[in-house]
Amino acid sequence: METPKKTSENADTRNFFQKLFKMKSVTEKQAEREAKASYQAIDTSHMSLVIKEGRVNAASLEKAQKVAHILGTIITYAFLLFMSLVVLFPFYWMIITSLKSTQEIRSLHQTFFPTNVLWSNYITVFNSFDFMTYVGNTLVVGIISTVGTLLTTIFAAFAFARLNFRGKNVIFAILLATMMIPGEMMVITNYITVARLPWYEFSTGKIVTGWLTYKDSVFGAMIIPFWVSVFYIYLLRQNFKQIPNELYLAAKVDGKSDWQYLWKVMVPLAAPTLISIFILKLMGTWNSYVWPQLVTTNNEKWRLVTNALRGSFTTTSGEPQYGIQMAATILVTVPLLLLFIFFRKYIMRGVGRAGIKG
């Protein structure tokens, strides 16, 4: 009786979607198949395995296989190289366009390298466009919301991974189910909630009560709704669950409370996941567009980087100034790429964790 329990624990490699919808695991499916009458009726006693000897010359076969292998490798590399050029080309074009004059960009003959390298586009960005203000806004919003998210995530993941309480599984399942609901359902009401806050007169932009400035409330609106993330709770819970029970019992023997155990043992052990969450969340704020756009309608100077980027650099006639636009685009993209270079492992692990382990 011991074995089936063990295998069912081990074989349960389904991801959370499959668990949520009660899909069958490999072993269950196999058992189901074998339980069928048609499967049981197969009479194996008269069956025998017949191996026919081919007439192929072993040497020529080997040679053909070798040629096929080399050809396959060449095709694979050619395909991958082509696709990586496709992936990288927009970046290249972004860089060289930012160094071109508007005349050169709009000319009928496109050049793959600027005829004269122009740095003035970048100077224009810094002069005409309050880049540093927007970066500052984004950093304030990003860091405060990230730290908040980390705290709520650590607490919730700890409760789900280590503590026992009534309805734990129900709540966890409900939380996971919310991930499948499109965020647009929430945005409508959240906007109304924020718009109707007492200190926040949306249409006119005036302050009703004095103790919070209007700016604070705009920033609060951009930060507080994002202090919780079900996906990160799920991610961290999985990580916390991998920490062996013995450590918890040992800490209990040493007279440590749950709180001390959480901060002294679990958080340090889950540090890689926490770093992943930190970076992904920060990048999320840097890239967020929709919600800040809604909340800062009347106040363009409190916008985040992305909103400011999209709304700027068209001349009065509606013609986009591509050179300056691309210079600003690079300034927005470079920090992301730097983060990626330094934390590649954490970012890829954090993103990849989503699909595999359940």
The stretch among 116-124, 210-218, 265-273, 337-345 that binds other proteins (CB under 8 A) is 337-345
Q: Does 21 bind other proteins (CB under 8 A)?
A: yes
Q: Does 184 bind other proteins (CB under 8 A)?
A: yes
Q: Binder to other proteins among 186, 247, 249, 271 (CB under 8 A)?
A: 186
Q: Binder to other proteins among 122, 277, 332, 346 (CB under 8 A)?
A: 332
Q: What are phi and psi for residue 352, nearest 5 degrees?
A: -70, -25
Count of CB atoms situated within 10 Å of the CB of 255: 7
Question: In the 8-state DSSP scheme, what is residue 304?
Answer: -
The stretch among 67-75, 126-134, 139-147, 207-215 that binds other proteins (CB under 8 A) is 67-75
Q: Binder to other proteins among 57, 76, 120, 213 (CB under 8 A)?
A: 76
Positions in 258-317 near other proteins (CB under 8 A): 258, 283, 286-287, 289-290, 294, 297, 306, 309-310, 314
CA 92 to chain centroid, in Å, comes to: 24
Shortest distance, position 140 Cβ to other proteins, whole Å: 18
- For residues 327 and 122, the answer to whether their CB atoms sit within 8 Å is yes
* Residue carrying the six token digits 């919310």: 178
Positions in 129-158 near other proteins (CB under 8 A): 151-153, 155-156, 158
Q: Binder to other proteins among 169, 211, 246, 254 (CB under 8 A)?
A: 169
Shortest distance, position 215 Cβ to other proteins, whole Å: 21
Q: Binder to other proteins among 62, 216, 300, 319 (CB under 8 A)?
A: 319
Shortest distance, position 322 Cβ to other proteins, whole Å: 5
Instruction: Name which of 355, 137, 130, 153 is nearest 274 in CA terms.
Output: 153
Positions in 93-132 near other proteins (CB under 8 A): 93-94, 97, 105-110
Q: Does 342 bind other proteins (CB under 8 A)?
A: no
Please give the Cα distance from 173 to 66 (Å, whole number). 52
**Nearer Cβ to other proteins (165/211):** 165
HSE (side-chain half, CA atoms, 13 Å) at 141? 32
Residue type (1 letter), 98? S
Please give the Cα distance from 237 to 141 (Å, whole number). 26
Q: What are phi and psi for residue 120, nearest 5 degrees?
A: -65, -25
Q: Does 208 bind other proteins (CB under 8 A)?
A: no
Positions in 223-262 near other proteins (CB under 8 A): 224-225, 227-228, 230, 233, 258
At what angle are helices 131-162 and 230-241 packed, to 10 degrees? 50
Count of CB atoms situated within 10 Å of the CB of 214: 17
Q: Binder to other proteins among 181, 244, 246, 254 (CB under 8 A)?
A: 181
Please give the Cα distance from 332 to 286 (Å, whole number). 9
Please give the Cα distance from 14 to 306 (Å, whole number). 37
Shortest distance, position 301 Cβ to other proteins, whole Å: 19
- For residues 324 and 125, the answer to whether their CB atoms sit within 8 Å is yes
Shortest distance, position 244 Cβ to other proteins, whole Å: 18
**Size of interface with other proteins, in residues (CB under 8 A):** 120
Q: Binder to other proteins among 87, 117, 132, 253 (CB under 8 A)?
A: 87
**Alpha helices for 99-183 (secondary structure H):** 102-106, 120-128, 131-162, 168-178
Positions in 188-207 near other proteins (CB under 8 A): 188-193, 195-196, 203
- For residues 214 and 200, the answer to whether their CB atoms sit within 8 Å is yes
**Nearer Cβ to other proteins (80/123):** 80
Q: Does 183 bind other proteins (CB under 8 A)?
A: yes
Residue type (1 letter), 139? L
